[in-house]
Amino acid sequence: MIEPILIARKLVHSFGGLTAVNNVSIDCRVGEIHALIGPNGAGKTTLINLLSGDLQVNAGNILFEGNEITGLKSYQISQRGIARSYQKSNIFLMFTAFENCRLAAQSRLPHSMHFFLNPDTCSAVNEVAHAALATAGLSGRIDTIAGALSHGERRQLEVAMTLATVPKLLLLDEPLAGMGADESTRMVELLRKLSANHSILVVEHDVDAIFAMADVLTVMVNGMVLASGSPDSIRSDPKVQSAYFGVSGV
């Protein structure tokens, strides 16, 4: 089996008295879609926030490509090659789709302060941005103001922006939320395609989509990992059936 690119061990995070993430360990591998499921309030998004550096862990440690990244700021983690998308579309509504991606892509310029460099002239950055849009299926909407995109397109743009930072690991928080059936199918295909050379950790509620794309499933309940394993083993796990799918099973 391939070595995991991300190893998180015994992560803990509390909001006041509520322990949202309690002793959670998780591995992610390149070529693998790891799906994180669980009822609302199980701590899935908090876990994503811990891995992306948006929140700091109270205990536990995170290794990425063998290096300790625990306690790094979100921009440092992004620079290491972990990109995240948000549950609620978090894009620059006043910019065009292309500008959104270019902004993401230019964060990879070797040094960050370019006071007088006109972004139109950085062909490398523009190429990355175009490629990311094309991969996410937004080639036709390049010059559309992001605020004028449909909900599904905004979700695609959200993924395109993460791709434009050329990440190795994608943390996707409900990329299918609110999407129609067609759009969902396309997004699942996109993620399958991306998983060939990326590691993907995806939070999702759509059970059909999860079983269609995931290689590994982790079920969280009340901040703890209830079960983790292949889709088949999860489906037949009695604990998961009672906690998540209802007592009757699927």
Q: Is 19 exposed, middle or buried (0-12, 13-18, 19+ CB in 10 A)?
A: middle
Nearer to another protein (CB atom), residue 55 or residue 219: 55
The CA-atom distances, in angstroms, between 85 and each of 10, 48, 93, 102, 234 are 23, 10, 15, 16, 26
- DSSP secondary-structure letter at 71? T
Binding site for another protein (CB under 8 A): 52-54, 73-76, 78-79, 83-84, 86, 88-95, 99, 102-104, 106-109, 112-119, 122, 145, 147-148, 161, 165
Min dist. Cβ of residue 240 to another protein (A): 31
**Strand order across the 224-229 sheet:** 82-85, 169-173, 199-203, 33-37, 216-221, 224-229
Nearer to another protein (CB atom), residue 54 or residue 65: 54
Residue with tokens 């910019």: 95
Min dist. Cβ of residue 107 to another protein (A): 4
Nearer to another protein (CB atom), residue 100 or residue 184: 100
Min dist. Cβ of residue 95 to another protein (A): 8
Residue pair 205/218 in contact by the 8 Å Cβ criterion: no
Min dist. Cβ of residue 54 to another protein (A): 7
Min dist. Cβ of residue 75 to another protein (A): 5
Min dist. Cβ of residue 102 to another protein (A): 8
Nearer to another protein (CB atom), residue 74 or residue 222: 74
Nearer to another protein (CB atom), residue 73 or residue 193: 73
Nearer to another protein (CB atom), residue 164 or residue 191: 164
The CA-atom distances, in angstroms, between 25 and each of 50, 56, 116, 228 are 12, 15, 45, 10
What is the CA 134 to chain-centroid distance, rounded? 19
